[in-house]
């Protein structure tokens, strides 16, 4: 919903003026608010939810995500969560990948519930000086006659003015919808479903990834996962990308049930019906490969799922949300300091430099894996390889499990 600035609300609008207004207080928004507040900007972050709030997710933090949390001063907090040292791939034969040792980077990940992670991040942004407004729903951008975003409108009609708006309002971004934004990479996404449950097995330090999930005999472009959270709890889910032509015919809950029936019986997992009854089961869409491109328009920058920042190959989105939030805020503050809010090309350049070529390959991969015969053939090759580096390159397009 786009709102023009009318004279009768101008006085109130001017009274609430910020350098940066962030829509959405998930990982992308909290990282952006933290970064902008630390550089001295006057920042407000709005989230429609009251925290702690959940977000459908696998709850798996990659080493790179951990590195961003460390950078934000949260090293001790994150170290307290369940540690993950490796991934076990089932293709269907079972093989292992460890996270590489890289200078200055952690060699492990963590399993962490989003209720905890996101609350920690939002509080961290508040501690850095950002004004945090929970239960504040952004209904759309405020746009001037020249088409530049000047702030946001909240549910109830309140308008808040800002020199830059960072749209970190997730998959269904109302800021993006309000601008009717066209992106040349629109349409790349995944559908994912998950639930947290108890498993009767010792706690593992491995992210288990199962590549052989099928729909009516078609190998699907996706995977099932079992991510441990500690204390006997696991997050089990699956996701598949929408380049598979019949993706809309898939009942994600049924598919999850089929996948769970392949897991060891001695884990004594609940049935999908039980998970549905307890409302533990949640499905969500995951935009990927830059569904808002360029990632800015005059007055506004997009970060995290609102930008489609998740990795097109794996769907890992938390590290990308954190990184894009940090970079968006840095670029916004730099642009505001040096010229004004009409040109955030510096953000586009940075995003391109960091991810451009990886995401170009990723979008191609996204399209190719949608063809079941190709995916079946690719999996066969993968399954018969014995060199772990070659396997990792085929699966992740890199030599190692890079932890993106
Ligand atoms: C089932 C599933 C499993 C996944 N598993 C993993 C995983 O294991 N590891 C990983 O790295 N990634 C995973 N991802 C991806 C990851 O969850 C996302 O990429 C990540 O949450 C993106 O962060 P974000 O801050 O951009 O968006 P979000 O986390 O969605 O945060 C957006 C915030 O905006 C708020 N908001 C929305 N609308 C409004 C509004 N109108 N006004 C104000 N606030 C608003 C929301 O309340 C929310 O707090 C998974 C995704 C799915 C769907």
pLDDT digits (tens, 9 = 90+) for 187-209: 899 999 999 999 999 999 999 99
Q: What is the pLDDT of residues 237-277, one digit of tens each?
A: 999 999 999 999 999 999 999 999 999 999 999 999 999 99
Question: Which residue from 50, 116, 120, 170 has its CB within 8 A of the most atoms of ligand 1, so it is best to mutate?
Answer: 170
**Residue 324: beta bridge partners?**
none
Element (H, E) at 354: helix 345-368
Element (H, E) at 383: helix 372-384
Alpha helix stretches (DSSP H) within 3-127: 7-15, 27-38, 63-71, 75-79, 114-127
Residue 1's pLDDT is what?
46
Output the residue whose Cα is nearest ligand 1's atom 6.
58
CA of 318 to the centre of ligand 1 (A): 8
Residue 401's pLDDT is what?
46
Please tell me the distance from the alpha carbon of residue 225 to that of residue 196, in angstroms, as a whole number.
12
Of the pLDDT bands very low, low, confident and very high (cuts 50, 70, 90), residue 391 is confident
CA distances (Å), 236 to each of 160, 289, 306, in order?
40, 24, 25
Q: What is the pLDDT of residues 111-142, one digit of tens each?
A: 999 999 999 999 999 999 999 999 999 999 99
CA of 26 to the centre of ligand 1 (A): 6
CA of 7 to the centre of ligand 1 (A): 36
* One CATH from 2.60.120.200, 3.50.50.60, 3.40.50.720, 3.30.559.10 for 7-59+113-186+288-364: 3.50.50.60
CA of 114 to the centre of ligand 1 (A): 9
Q: Is the pLDDT assigned to residue 7 strictly greater than 80? A: no
Q: Is the pLDDT assigned to residue 396 strictly greater than 70? A: no
Domain boundaries, the chain: 7-59+113-186+288-364, 81-112+189-286+371-404
The larger pLDDT score, comparing residue 4 to residue 69, is at 69
Of the pLDDT bands very low, low, confident and very high (cuts 50, 70, 90), residue 8 is low
| Ligand 1 and 55: CB distance under 6 A | yes
Give 3-state DSSP helix, strand, coil % of the chain, rounded to 5: 35, 25, 40
Ligand 1 nearest-atom number relative to CA 317: 19
Residue 12's pLDDT is what?
56
| Ligand 1 and 25: CB distance under 6 A | yes
Residue 184's pLDDT is what?
85
The larger pLDDT score, comparing residue 269 to residue 100, is at 269
Residue 17's pLDDT is what?
87
- The CATH code of domain 81-112+189-286+371-404 reads 3.30.9
Q: Is the pLDDT assigned to residue 55 strictly greater than 90? A: yes
**Residue 285: beta bridge partners?**
191
| Ligand 1 and 49: CB distance under 6 A | yes
């Amino acid at each position: 919903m786009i709102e023009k600035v009318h004279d009768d609300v101008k006085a109130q609008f001017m009274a609430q003026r910020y350098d940066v207004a962030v829509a959405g207080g998930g990982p992308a928004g909290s990282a952006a608010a933290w970064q902008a507040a630390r550089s001295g900007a006057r920042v407000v972050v709005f989230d429609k939810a009251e925290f702690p709030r959940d977000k459908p997710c696998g709850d798996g933090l990659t080493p790179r995500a951990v590195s961003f949390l460390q950078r934000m001063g949260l090293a001790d907090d994150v170290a307290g969560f369940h540690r993950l040292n490796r991934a076990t791939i089932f293709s269907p034969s079972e093989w292992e990948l460890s996270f590489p040792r890289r200078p200055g980077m952690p060699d492990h990940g963590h399993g962490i519930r989003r209720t905890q992670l996101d609350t920690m991040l939002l509080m961290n942004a508040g501690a850095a000086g950002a004004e945090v407004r929970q239960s504040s729903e952004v209904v759309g951008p405020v746009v001037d006659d020249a088409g530049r975003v000047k702030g946001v409108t909240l549910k109830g009609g309140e308008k808040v003015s800002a020199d830059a708006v960072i749209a970190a309002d997730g998959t269904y971004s109302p800021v993006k919808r309000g601008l009717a934004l066209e992106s040349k990479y629109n349409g790349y996404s995944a559908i994912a479903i998950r639930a947290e449950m108890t498993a009767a097995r010792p706690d593992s330090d491995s992210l288990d990834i199962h590549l052989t999930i099928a729909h009516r005999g078609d190998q699907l472009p996706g995977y099932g996962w079992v991510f441990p959270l500690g204390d006997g709890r696991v997050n089990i889910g699956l996701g598949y990308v929408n380049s598979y032509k019949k993706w809309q015919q898939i009942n994600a809950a049924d598919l999850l049930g089929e996948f769970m029936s392949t897991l060891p019986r001695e884990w004594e997992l609940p049935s999908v019906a039980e998970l549905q009854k307890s409302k533990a089961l949640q499905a969500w869409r995951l935009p990927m490969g830059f569904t808002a491109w360029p990632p800015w328009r005059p007055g506004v920058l997009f970060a995290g799922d609102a930008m489609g920042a998740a990795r097109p190959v794996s769907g890992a989105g938390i590290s990308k949300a954190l990184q894009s939030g940090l970079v968006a805020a840095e670029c916004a503050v730099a642009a505001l300091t040096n010229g004004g809010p009409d040109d955030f090309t510096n953000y586009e350049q940075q995003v391109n430099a960091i991810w451009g070529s990886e995401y170009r390959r990723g979008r191609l991969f996204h399209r190719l894996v949608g063809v079941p015969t190709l995916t079946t053939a690719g999996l066969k090759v993968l399954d018969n390889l014995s060199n772990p580096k070659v396997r990792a390159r085929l699966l992740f397009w890199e030599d190692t499990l890079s932890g993106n």
